[in-house]
A and B are shown apart, each in its own frame.
Chain A
C-alpha cells in the first residue's frame, strides 16, 4: 500500500531500472516550480530548479543573478525600478 506521504503531491512517480533488471516505479521528490518575476510574472532566467539538498550544497552565486533584485525581479523590471528610484 502506498504510504500517505507519497500521495501528497510532493513526490512524483518515476520509472527506474532496479538491480534485478526489471523496471519499477519509484517516488522522487518533485522539483520546485520555475521562479517568476515579482512584478510582471515573467519566468526568471538564471535560477536553477534545485531540490532542497542540491540548493543547500550549491553556492549562493549559482542560485540567482549577481545584480540588484536578482532572483526577485526580471532585468526589465529591475531597470524600471532603478530609473524610478533615481528620478
Chain B
C-alpha cells in the first residue's frame, strides 16, 4: 500500500492552499496526484502534501459531491464556491460609439447641404416677394419712379403756373392708386 494511494487524507503544505486538508483521488506519473477537498480540485506534487493517518473510502476520480459527503462524515464541511459571472464588457458601447460617429459625420455633412438648401429656400422665399414686385414692379415701380418725375416735371411748371397746383395733386393720387392696386 503506497503512501499516497486513493483516499489518503493529506494536508497541503505549499501554496495558497497550505494548511487545508484534501484527499487523493488518483495517482499520476512523476509523483503527481489529483486532490480535492478543502483545497481546489487540481493536480499536486506529493512533495507539497503531508499525509495524515486517515483514509477515506472513495473511488478513483470521485466526484465533488462524493468528496463532500466523505468529508462531512469527518465533520468537515466543504464550501463550494461558484465561479463569478464575468461582467458584460461594454462592447455595446463601442458599437454605439461606432454608430454615433457616422451620425456625427452625417450631422457634420448635413449642415453643409443645408446651407445650399437654405440659399434656395431663401431664394424661394425671396422670389415670391420678388415675383410680386417683379410682376407689379414693371408697372408700379416705374409708376412710382415716374410719378415723382412727373411730379418733378410739374414742379418747374408749378413754378411757372401756381394756379395749376390744385389740379396736379389730383393727378398724383391717380398715379399712386393704380400702383397700389397693381
Known: A83-B11, A86-B11. A67 touches B52 (CB 8 A): no
Flag if B18 contacts A86 (CB, 8 Å): no
Chain A: which residue is nearest B50 at the CB level?
A: A83
Which residues A69-86 have CB closer than 8 A to chain B?
75, 78-79, 82-83, 85-86
A-B contact count (CB 8 A): 26
The minimal Cβ–Cβ distance linking B112 to chain A, given in whole angstroms, is 50
Residues of A with C-beta under 8 A to B18: 67-68, 78-79, 82
Flag if A79 contacts B13 (CB, 8 Å): yes
Q: Digit string of B10-52 for contact with A (CB within 8 Å is 1, else 0)?
A: 0101111011000000000000000000000000000000101
Count contacts on B: residues with CB < 8 A to the other chain.
Answer: 9
Flag if A75 contacts B11 (CB, 8 Å): no
Chain A: which residue is nearest B13 at the CB level?
A: A79
Residues of A with C-beta under 8 A to B19: 68, 82, 85
The minimal Cβ–Cβ distance linking B25 to chain A, given in whole angstroms, is 20
Residues of A with C-beta under 8 A to B15: 67
Q: Given the complex of chains A and B, what is the CA–CA distance between A29 and B18 in angstroms?
A: 37
Residues of B with C-beta under 8 A to A82: 11, 13, 18-19, 50
Residues of B with C-beta under 8 A to A28: none
Count contacts on A: residues with CB < 8 A to the other chain.
Answer: 10
Q: Given the complex of chains A and B, what is the CA–CA distance between A31 and B13 in angstroms?
A: 32
Which residues A29-87 have CB closer than 8 A to chain B?
66-68, 75, 78-79, 82-83, 85-86
Known: A82-B50, A83-B50, A86-B52. A66 touches B13 (CB 8 A): no
Q: Given the complex of chains A and B, what is the CA–CA distance between A78 and B13 in angstroms?
A: 8
Flag if B50 contacts A67 (CB, 8 Å): no
Q: Closest 6 interchain pairs by CB?
A: A79-B13, A66-B16, A68-B19, A86-B11, A82-B19, A67-B18
- 26 A–B contacts, CB within 8 A, in A order: A66-B16, A67-B14, A67-B15, A67-B16, A67-B18, A68-B18, A68-B19, A75-B14, A78-B13, A78-B18, A79-B13, A79-B14, A79-B18, A79-B50, A82-B11, A82-B13, A82-B18, A82-B19, A82-B50, A83-B11, A83-B13, A83-B50, A85-B19, A86-B11, A86-B50, A86-B52
B residues near A (Cβ < 8 Å) are 11, 13-16, 18-19, 50, 52
A residues near B (Cβ < 8 Å) are 66-68, 75, 78-79, 82-83, 85-86
